[in-house]
Amino acid sequence: MTATVQPDAATSLQSELVLVLDFGSQTAQLIARRIRDLNVFCQLVRHDISAERVKELAPRGIILSGGPASVYGEKAPKCDPEIFNLGIPVLGICYGMQLTCQALGGVVQAGTTREFGRTELKTLEDHPLVAGLPATSTVWMSHGDQVQQAGDEFIPIASTHSCPMAAVRHRSRQIFGLQFHPEVTHSEYGKQLLENFLRKCCGCAGTWQIESLIEQQVTAIRARVGNSRVICGLSGGVDSSVVAALLYKAIGSQLSCIFVDNGLLRKGECEKVRERFQNHFKTDLHVVDASHRFLSELAGVVDPQQKRKIIGRVFIEVFRKEAESITDARFLAQGTLYPDVIESGGSPDGPAATIKYHHNVGGLPEQLGFELIEPLRDLFKDEVRRMGLALGLSEELIWRHPFPGPGLGVRCLGGITSERLHALREADAIVLEELRKAGLYRTIQQAFAVILPVQSVGVMGDGRTYEETIAVRAVTTDDFMTADWYPLPYDLMRIISTRIINEVRGVNRVVYDISSKPPSTIEWE
């Protein structure tokens, strides 16, 4: 059997769908998230989706995103002009506005002044799209071109000092344009504008909720799976836990979970998984203790890439063997999220592939021979968190910092031994415990301990020591692509350092990592 991709869920999930046509803007995903936050289901699709396909999907509204091109550029991405004739409300944002106006008779040119950043918007007309906006407000602009002449078809409803047509409406159709970006938080009334478009122009009631999605998914999973068995690989992280909890709700005892203990887990991780998926959700949980196998294959290996390769390979071998022992399994559930789908170009209507930034070691290959179930493939991370909480998973798990697939393997620099891993695990637990106590765990997006391949001289009691060094890392970040080191309070650093040196045998020195990404990375290997 080969892996299959689930049919596009857009048709089944939502009675109120809004499509965002992606013209390559960095904020296209953000538009989708804002719309979902307004309880309207929204999907990002290719900019050249055909009007026919749009008709099939029957959205309540269409949004054309911004984009880096100029509408007069040679390779300017266009949309099917027929989408303007479907009778579905359209909102063009920035490039999307220029394209809309151009398609319907307006003239776009380079503005006399390019506008980037904050600017003041004046509303010119009392229109439902700008309802609730004061006479002037701050918006975020980022454009060189702008609509110079709206033709006979468009009427300006707001302007800025250098952009007379900052917001326009079509004379007779439900077609609108915004030259600024309502999706970014710097646009003061951006959310209000989007809400006005959804509610007042598209007639959306805003009934999409995570609970309704759970119900829809449960029904869809039951229909797809029938009486078959589903395997779910647990990593201890948020995504796979939410998938397992959702599947448990849908199919109960037909679910088997596999958790591989690779010996590179954090303190207490295995016990927590047992507590959650054996005691709380009573799944058929297979915990495979493969720590000896991993550690013996890693013995003497110091090269980071080599470590990753070994860990990835052994994981697949161990997982495969366990999965094969579950003889009646037909499906494999995975925690693929919407950004992964978009990034890998894996959705039939999805926008073109962009570069996937993370190295997903610890994942499973498609050739395991199961049909895939990916119930989170329509969701953003924050929606997965909301779903997890609604399914009864703990706050502690839901807000857990990310932990890389290769685990402590890439935080134990130099040779990996069970003694060094033990010291690292204890030190890491102290770091996290103290951050929680100080109320900083949620302020920081990722924090951990690293054991360095450096021994140094110390003095304990009357004796000289020559022992290991622990580095502490704590970063804040929006997307893990860039990150800044967090200035931990000195008192907290003192507590962490004192506790690690006193409580963790074999460690006599603690250092704090003050490097940002780039040029460093978050992990040390």
State the catalytic residues.
Answer: 94, 181, 183
- The SS3 call for residue 289 is strand
Parallel, antiparallel, or unpaired: how do β-strands 136-149 and 107-123 relate? antiparallel
If residue 385 lies in a helix (H) or strand (E), which one and from where to where?
helix 381-390
CB 450 within 8 A of CB 524: yes
Q: How far apart are CA 487 and CA 474, in angstroms?
A: 8
What is the per-residue binding string for ligand XMP in 291-320, x denoting contact by CB under 6 A? -----------------x------------
Q: How far apart are CA 75 and CA 72, in angstroms?
A: 8
DSSP state of 254: G
Among 11, 113, 360, 498, which residue interacts with ligand XMP (rule: CB under 6 A)? 360
- The SS3 call for residue 72 is coil
Among 270, 273, 361, 447, which residue interacts with ligand XMP (rule: CB under 6 A)? 361
Contacting range for ligand XMP; rule: CB under 6 A; set: 182-190, 205-213, 404-412, 499-507:
404-412
Task: Determine if 339 is a binding residue for ligand XMP (CB under 6 A).
Answer: no
Among 285, 405, 430, 509, which residue interacts with ligand XMP (rule: CB under 6 A)? 405
Number of residues located near ligand XMP, criterion CB under 6 A: 16
Among 85, 113, 498, 521, which residue interacts with ligand XMP (rule: CB under 6 A)? 521
Task: Determine if 404 is a binding residue for ligand XMP (CB under 6 A).
Answer: yes
CB 71 within 8 A of CB 99: yes
**Long-range pairs for 390-395: beta carbons < 8 A, 24 or more residues apart:** 390/210, 390/211, 390/214, 391/214, 391/242, 391/245, 391/246, 391/249, 392/245, 392/280, 393/241, 393/242, 393/245, 393/276, 394/276
Q: Which is nearer to ligand XMP, 325 or 360 (CB)?
A: 360
What is the per-residue binding string for ligand XMP in 424-453, x denoting contact by CB under 6 A? ----------------------x-------
CA 82 to chain centre: 33
CA 145 to chain centre: 32
Q: Which is nearer to ligand XMP, 136 or 360 (CB)?
A: 360
Among 222, 292, 358, 505, which residue interacts with ligand XMP (rule: CB under 6 A)? 358
In whole angstroms, the minimum distance from the beta carbon of 410 to ligand XMP comes to 6
Q: How far apart are CA 165 and CA 126, in angstroms?
A: 15
In whole angstroms, the minimum distance from the beta carbon of 300 to ligand XMP comes to 21
Contacting range for ligand XMP; rule: CB under 6 A; set: 128-136, 279-287, 398-406, 486-494:
398-406
Among 320, 359, 381, 422, which residue interacts with ligand XMP (rule: CB under 6 A)? 359
In whole angstroms, the minimum distance from the beta carbon of 524 to ligand XMP comes to 8
Q: Which is nearer to ligand XMP, 267 or 509 (CB)?
A: 267
Listed in sequence order, the residues at least 6 apart from 279 whose beta carbon sits closer than 8 Å to its beta carbon are none
Q: Which residues bind ligand XMP (CB under 6 A)?
A: 308, 358-362, 402, 404-406, 446, 480, 517, 521-523
